[in-house]
Amino acid sequence: MSGHRLDPDGPRRLLATPGLARVLTALSVPGEHTRLVGGCVRDALLGHPSDDIDLATTLLPDAVIARAGAAGLRSIPTGIEHGTVTLTAEGATFEVTTLREDIETDGRHAVVRFGRDFGLDAERRDFTINALSVDATGELHDTTGGMADLAAGRVRFIGEAATRIREDALRILRFFRFQARYGAGVPDPEGLAACIRARAALDGLSRERVRSELLKLLLATGAVPAVTTLSETGLLGRLIGGIGDLRRFERVARPPWDETARLAALAVFSVDDAERLALRLRLSKAEQNGLVVYARALAAVKDTAEIDGFGVRSLTAVHGAWALALALAVLDGGDRPHPTPEARDLLGRMVRGEVPVPVFPLTGGDLLARGIPAGPEIGRRLSRARALWLAGGCQADAGARKILLARALD
């Protein structure tokens, strides 16, 4: 795999971001310096737009707030204890952080002091490709070899990899995420070895931080080789508390499948897996529900020899189009199931919203209106009618509804 062709005009275009000139002008003080730093510079060199623009400055936080106020800019002390102030200009936000130097770290938190040396600030960052900076004139500054690494597609820790990981164990996951996004070829040997040696440190990370990094990793273009390496080194098991199916993951590790779908394909084999992952990774309710409905759809189809259009209607009525499509994509290429061309076409149109998913046409209110008393009997009658509806192809026209209602009242 080749590296990346860098765009020499990228930093110039980055400086043209709406609102940025006002921020840089506001922070322009004789004897003080402000630069764009980190990911926005890296992405600009790759020709990619950046949603987050970070700046580093020699100005202290109070001075940043004062200068912004004098220029008519709104300031928000989003991380003032760490030297970070968010400025807004022309509808855009910019994080401005005073240069820092680490005093001590424990793998999760760092004690820092404010500094004035951009070189020292760069050295406390994680990877060389994230330590590039651009000043207000457009001049690119690279003190760690980040340009060469970016061009080569090499994700390399700054300084000693083991030291960087001891400062923050989350950098183990970030190493794999950035390798999946920017790496070319095999991972940096020193960095990989350091991550493996420090694997126990993953257990001390907050579940929320692990979730965020892992889900971003699963979305990266190079997620398959990165997750394969995680699995082969035993790191994946520490993260998800179980095994991963790399073949299933590879089948959906591409658009349009989102991070929840990819996590499901990788690590969910049953509803129990879905609930365990939700707890282990502190997933949102929506993410947990996605894993659960997928697990149920997977169980419903994995032993089915063939699925026709009739089956698609019934299965989507129970499990939804997304879960069914994901389950079939994950199992694609195996012995079963085998959707017919008609079934694939119908399911695709349901996923795209061109054809509605069947909805059971009766409610408890229909039975109450016809004299069935409220209580468990309502549920039993609806369940009986719904089973008939599913077996009959999920028809919802007036004639089918009339038959179902009569069955429920019988």
pLDDT at residue 3 in the model = 85
pLDDT surpasses 70 at 119: yes
pLDDT at residue 397 in the model = 84
Report the 3 state secondary structure along the chain.
CCCCCCCCCHHHHHHCCCCHHHHHHHCCCCCCCEEEECHHHHHHHCCCCCCCEEEEECCCHHHHHHHHHHCCCEEEEEEHHHCEEEEEECCEEEEEEECEEEEEECECCEEEEECCCHHHHHHCCCEHHHCCEEECCCCEECCCCHHHHHHHCCCCECCCHHHHHHHECHHHHHHHHHHHHHCCCCCCHHHHHHHHHCHHHHHHCCHHHHHHHHHHHHHCCCHHHHHHHHHHCCHHHHHHCCCCCHHHHHHHCCCCCCHHHHHHHHHCCCHHHHHHHHHHCCCCHHHHHHHHHHHHHHHHHCCCCEECHHHHHHHHHHHCHHHHHHHHHHHCCCCCCEECHHHHHHHHHHHCCCCCCCCCCCCHHHHHCCCCCCCHHHHHHHHHHHHHHHHCCCCCCHHHHHHHHHHHHC
Q: 62-77 pLDDT, tens per residue?
A: 999 999 999 999 999 9
pLDDT at residue 109 in the model = 55
Q: What CATH number does the domain located at 160-240 have?
A: 1.10.110.30
pLDDT at residue 104 in the model = 60
Question: What topology is assigned to 1-154 in CATH?
Answer: Beta Polymerase; domain 2 (3.30.460)
Domain borders along the chain are: 1-154, 160-240, 241-358, 364-409
Output the pTM of the full model: 0.89
Mean pLDDT over each residue of the chain, to the nearest integer: 93
Q: 131-146 pLDDT, tens per residue?
A: 999 999 999 999 999 9
